[in-house]
Structure 1
Amino acid sequence: MAFFLETLFGGLMTGMLYSLVALGFVLIFKASGVFNFAQGAMVLFAALAMARFAEWIPGWLGFDNRIVANVLAFAVAALCMFAVAWLIEKLVLRHLVNQEAATLLMATLGITYFLDGLGQTIFGSNVYSIDIGMPKDPVFMMESVFDGGVMINKEDLIAAVIAAALVALLTLFFQKTGTGRALRAVADDHQAAQSVGIPLSRIWVIVWCVAGVVALVAGMIWGSKLGVQFSLTTVALRALPVVILGGLTSVPGAIIGGLIIGVGEKLSEVYLGPYVGGGIEIWFAYVLALVFLLFRPQGLFGEKIIDRV
């Protein structure tokens, strides 16, 4: 039982990190109807900015305090993501209002390759580390219940708490604020939102800025765990089944979908892997997403769209 709980907890914590990346997809699609394939590139670009500025700032300011350097690096990286969001809206999205979904999708693919190249040009292409002080040693819990206790990685636990807090804030933002309601209105109908005085360009800048901050937090956590390298863009591919499972328009769905896939990957790899030769963790999420596309394409919490003629 202790081993099962360790696997379960590990899956839940991995699932929260998947959810954090999936949130970027959901936020932008919810507010603009754009499926943002550039989310993985945004995670990488934000992580590169965080890692490199954390290295450069102590030399620029002449001090050696890791905490202050990380705080300043986070702030500067956030400003970089705000600038990226503003430029995307001004140079790309503003000219594609009410265009076909395929056109917008191709635009985000172009943004993906541009951000990959820009990140490599500015920050370099080596593997960089982000040290934000999260402990990497394990902690043992429930020792009075199970012999030896249940081992949990402290880094994963702290990352899951950070992800959960960010998710809670975003949920409140969408449900309780005027800007959040305006974002939902823009997602439903661009022209109708404009007709009642909602500034479409400002709303898109806000949502891309929020998605940029989410990408920065995700990149910071994943970079701390795996190192900042260009394979981080594949993390977004691991989050695609989460979006399909939870629903493209649901913030809670991104969370539930991430938890289901995180737990499913870990349990299937541990308990079914030995019988099929392993590797289940690689394809489990995509097979589950395929099943949902066949039987419930809108996902668990997505809105069912009915076109009437």
Structure 2
Amino acid sequence: MELFGRHAETAALDRLLDRAADRAGSGLVLWGEPGIGKTTLLEYAVSAASDATVLRCRGTRMLRVSVPRGVRALSASAYWLRGRAALFDGRPQKALSDLLCLVESGHEASHATIALLAAVDTVEAAVQVGSSDVAVAQVAMVQEWAQRTGATWARTASHRLRALVQGGSAAEISFRAALDVAGAGAHSFEYARTRLLYGEWLRRARRRADASTQLAAAAETFDRLGADPLRVRALREQALTDPGGTPRVADPPTAAGLTAQELRVAQLAADRLTNREIAAQLLISPRTVGHHLANVYPKLGITSRRQLARIDFAGDLRLS
């Protein structure tokens, strides 16, 4: 069952949270809702929202229920929500900070099962911030589970995560293996995430036509599921596969003289992302981010990042 982005199921999760204090145990509790069937509270929590703000708010609400009652599975789920929200929001360092609590001995959110399920997000965040030791350890954990159980999701995740930590042709072999696992396509959201990551790898390898194919398919799925942050990311990557066909920037940015990439960097910096976080989201180096900002400031007539936060990006790019 596809849970991502469905309003009825999001409302169902809210009803479940209202009852969680009375019914939640220490494991992954099965719930039944009319018209939805049985699934875990965790699956609802992580899959039913597509907006990072909703994910963060949901995580906070879950912690209010779980921490006072010592319901560790629910607390772990909340940290997973917060980590995934930060990852989708382009803040991998914050994401990694929350997700590593799942494997921190003695932490209120320490939970081996949920740490295993969250590994798809933990590895992606670790790779983006350059924490190779964390990424390798998480991949090993998922590989061990895949070998032990043969579960479709674990086999798919194992290949995808291995691709993220590998280089050269080995990465492509693993990406292709993840897409080719029997039954993987039934999990639409995660399948699209694999295509997005593979498409990004192909673009960096300068295989633009192949990258565009993967990224377009990922964007279409994210659009259907209502996963807007990842849809935008996929479309942005797809535009970069064809510099000659990249959509032109709207009139106000053109008047200010910003390139499309300078505009993207400026908007992310205005949202208080660090250079490293911007670099991870746009798949460029922090040094390149700094170079773009150095070009942006004089074009906008400003001298600091603080002033950048006051620019009217929805209007004429003037300082408010």
Q: Shared fold (TM-score greater than 0.5)?
A: no
Relative contact order (C-alpha < 8 Å, sep 6+): which is higher? Answer: 1
TM-score normalised by structure 2 residue count:
0.26
After TM superposition, the score normalised by the length of structure 1 is 0.26
